[in-house]
Structure 1
Amino acid sequence: MNIYHIICNVTCCLMLSSVSLAQTWSDAASLKKELIQAALQGKTYYSQYNFYDPRKSGELKSAYENVLQSQPIIYGVDFHYASGTWHKPKAIRKARENLIKIVKETWRERRAIASFSWHLENPYVPTGFPLTSGFRYINNKKIPDYPVQHRYVIKEILENSGDVCGKGNLSGKDNVLLYPTPRVWFEDRCKEVAGIINEFVDENGQPIPFIFRLWHEWEDSWMWWGAKYVSADDYKRFFILTEQIIRKYAPNAQILWAYCSDRFVNNEKEFMSRYPGDSYVDVIGFDDYAIGKSDKDWKAAVNRAKMVSKIAKKRKMATALFETNNNKRKIPYYYTRHLNRMLKATGVNLSIVQIWSLKNFNDSTDMKSFINQKNIIIR
């Protein structure tokens, strides 16, 4: 082989590498492929929850755009404020309209990808419980009207048992929308979300791909789908049931389904204990708000990220750290010295890192430095 051929081969390799990270995705399969390729090349897409706020507008703007000087190619949003029975119809309609507009416009303009969560309300939690926390119960004693006998509501959903539920706030009054069982209530919620998903199409009517993270932080007890209230087998069945219902009502949707723990999983056996199967998962990941809190927490996060990366490589999955942030701890150089050091550790290959909420945004210089690192993809 002469020098000309060597140069051509090197050039071609560089071109292929460049193309693989050029956001050429067009559907779920190509999106998954590019996310996997990014991780294998030591690259991580930056994502940010609440970068766009559908509750307020459908415009492409951010309070921190002057700091970031860019809009991420992957952004985090949630279905809970555009569906459900807790918020008034006017608020739901507006959020739904804004959400659809955001997904369609960001795709048309930049091929940007939405990373959805679903903080679904609990069907038995009474109307008076704070709307911002309507999807959870931390302690039954804090919710005097919560029926303790229904703490295993997911089992009721799976068995189509249980009592009348679904107290909502559709017109500012109690008992305005009731369902005979939580299963009927749940199917209506899935059908509602599927209706939103069906609107995610481009100018040619083709479905826009996105990521959908189901029932995250499952080992925690503060979510009503947490391990304290749901057996491993029932969690798997619930995960699969959710997909099946949504696929039924949104058959053309291009979705990457994500399975996500919190930071309290210690080994692969624990992590996979509630895994519903390769047919139902495309992205695996975890949440971790303790990165940088101590050397012990940092090492634990690295080991967890290595574990997820190893599992993903074996199963040909994309990977993500779906929730992390500096929060109120104000750790100096959190993003560059702790978070990015973890992302660059040997054996760690994460496709996405998602910052969850910037309400405690107190280290803008460090974040700006973080998103400008060579291994971070923001646009």
Structure 2
Amino acid sequence: MNQLRGKNILFGQQHATTEGMSITAKDGTQSDTFNSVGAYPGLFGWDTLSLEGKEKPGVTGHAEQSRDNLVAVMKKAYADGGVLTFSSHMPNFVTGGDFYDTKGNVVSHILPGGDKNAAYNAFLDQIAGFALHLKTDDGRPIPVIFRPFHEQSGSWFWWGAAFTTTDEYKEIYRYTVEYLRDKKDVHNFLYAYSPGGGFGDSVDTYLKTYPGDDYVDILGFDSYYNGEGDSWFNGVKTEAKTVSNIADSRGKVAAFTEFGYQKMKVTGNTTLDFYTKLASTLKSDPDAKKMAFMLTWANFGPDSIYVPYPTGDPNQEHEMLPDFKKYYQDAYTLFSDGVIGAYDKKVNTASEQGFMHIASPTGQSTIKEASTTIRVRVLNETPDRVVYSVQGSDTEYPMVLNPDSGYYEAQWTPAAEQNGKTADITVKVYGSSGAVLHEQTNTVFVKIGEVLAGAYTFDTAPDAEGIQYNGEYTSSSGGTNDGSAAYSDFNGGSLKISAPHLNGTDSWQELKLELKNAKAKAGAGS
């Protein structure tokens, strides 16, 4: 794909061979694109909804058949020379709703330690099963561009900006990659990062939720045309240029991961030269031109058309079909008949570099339990030790590798004086030389309903020194103060109270003890 950038751009379509207006079979053998220009797209897209049986070629209630059907149509597209991409409109794991159901702060629940993490893992298991079955007849894995959690800069999906913090987004993206790659041995995925448009020329805005170079192969963006005229085309050029420059600086592939003409009709469209104008706009800038591919959406029906098609009615042809044919004939655009040897390229791979990140608690999260698990992932190196410390103390507490989870873990119990405040948790990874290899600090807010302020035990005599006896009060004798409280070795350590004036016949009686060091002991976090 990098070899194409600046020379050609792959045209792609979602459900190119499993949905269409001019096709009779939806089994991977026909396509509106082919019927329009005589070639399939150069890039084919599907979604995890097919694995769930909610989109073709999936079958409702039959997970294995859905997987096998999807593998079959993707193998057919691969055999036709196409590049494959796979998006994910995930269900709401908290409410049971769909991807548009934004209730429930879902990301916080599916991260490690969350009560829906197991449900999310089961969903990832389905994806892994598909990936591991997607092979050629002679057993070679077929590569796929996987694009999860897309358009996160908007707020129409439950993983969108209004419903998750920046750090939560980064961590769920990282978790997804690590689970598929490291736990399920999926190695035929390239990972795409694709916020929605609107970032303009701002690198910082585009990279706000970027999970890191270790987790992303393709940098993309999504943008749809709603009849805005030149402003949209110019905006796409600016944002394509921004993404292309970022990709170049990071050794990544740049792509226009979703585009389309919204509410396209057979007749009555305002921009009849949409495809050629968009191609010309990209070509007008040497950086914007360097998109590896551009993927449009599926022809699901009359109200969802993104590729013109032959209507079969000579009196009412699709009015945008002539422009789409010109777009196909442009030397810049590549369809399946122009994709040659895509899978025969030899490349030099880069060695893996060491990396560390705090999986939980994420930055800016709220600690609500009296004890929370700190989880840290260390990749591509074996540290001498991993430790954490908490704001206000230089003490470094050891973290232990959990072989089941793959995280270095430790339990942290916030001190009473931290409740209601922010706290910085710092993790350091030390190498064998004693040098710090990695360091990260997450700031969290501590809001625990009930937290231990201090504890008194009586295991030894000094433990009782903070207890002062302040007398007994009874209905018969009033108040006296000539008793005492002292340590006793009874039952392995106890507090012995001498109260000489208590009378068993009194209607009421009180003993009063003062915890002299309570404030100091709470301050020490005991």
Q: Determine if the TM-score, normalized by the shorter chain, exceeds 0.5.
A: yes
Indicate the SS of the match to 1:288: strand
What residue in structure 2 maps to residue 25 of structure 1? none
CA contact (8 A) 2:13 2:41 kept: yes
Matches within 5 A, 1:297-308: 297-308=232-243
Structure in which a larger fraction of residues adopt helix: 1
Aligned length: 306
Indicate the SS of the match to 2:156: coil
Shift of 1:89: 4.9
CA contact (8 A) 1:261 1:285 kept: yes
Cα gap change, 1:84 to 1:269, in 2 (>3 Å)? farther
Query: 1:143-180 deviations in whole A, cap 9, x for unaligned?
Result: xxxxx5x2x1101222533xxxxxxxxxxxxxxxxxxx
2:23 corresponds to 1:66? no
What residue in structure 2 maps to residue 350 of structure 1? 291
CA contact (8 A) 2:44 2:85 kept: yes
Structure in which a larger fraction of residues adopt strand: 2
Matches within 5 A, 1:1-379: 35-40=1-6, 42-53=7-18, 57-83=26-52, 89-107=60-78, 109-126=79-96, 134-137=98-101, 148=103, 150=104, 152-161=105-114, 181-266=115-200, 267-290=202-225, 293-328=228-263, 330=269, 331-337=271-277, 339-346=278-285, 347-348=287-288, 349-358=290-299, 359-360=304-305, 361=308, 362=318, 363-379=320-336
Cα gap change, 1:85 to 1:249, in 2 (>3 Å)? farther
CA RMSD in angstroms comes to 2.4
CA contact (8 A) 2:213 2:250 kept: yes
Shift of 1:57: 4.3
Give the alignment's TM-score, normalised by structure 1: 0.75
Cα gap change, 1:155 to 1:292, in 2 (>3 Å)? same
> Which segments of 5 or more consecutive residues in structure 2 lack a partner in the other structure?
309-317, 337-526
Give the alignment's TM-score, normalised by structure 2: 0.55
CA contact (8 A) 2:94 2:109 kept: no
Question: Which piece of structure 1 moves more, 98-107 or 182-191?
Answer: 98-107
Indicate the SS of the match to 1:38: coil
CA contact (8 A) 1:233 1:274 kept: yes
Shift of 1:295: 2.0
Cα gap change, 1:353 to 1:85, in 2 (>3 Å)? closer
Indicate the SS of the match to 1:322: strand
CA distance in 2, matches of 1:59, 1:304: 33
Shift of 1:118: 0.5
One-letter identity of the residue aligned with 2:99 = F
Indicate the SS of the match to 2:175: helix
CA distance in 2, matches of 1:229, 1:202: 40
CA distance in 2, matches of 1:54, 1:295: 31
CA distance in 2, matches of 1:114, 1:85: 20
CA distance in 2, matches of 1:206, 1:120: 28
Q: Which has the larger radius of gyration?
A: 2
| Bigger RCO of structures 1 and 2 (CA < 8 A, at least 6 apart) | 1
CA contact (8 A) 1:217 1:226 kept: yes
CA distance in 2, matches of 1:84, 1:247: 24
> Which segments of 5 or more consecutive residues in structure 1 lack a partner in the other structure?
1-34, 139-147, 162-180
Shift of 1:137: 2.3
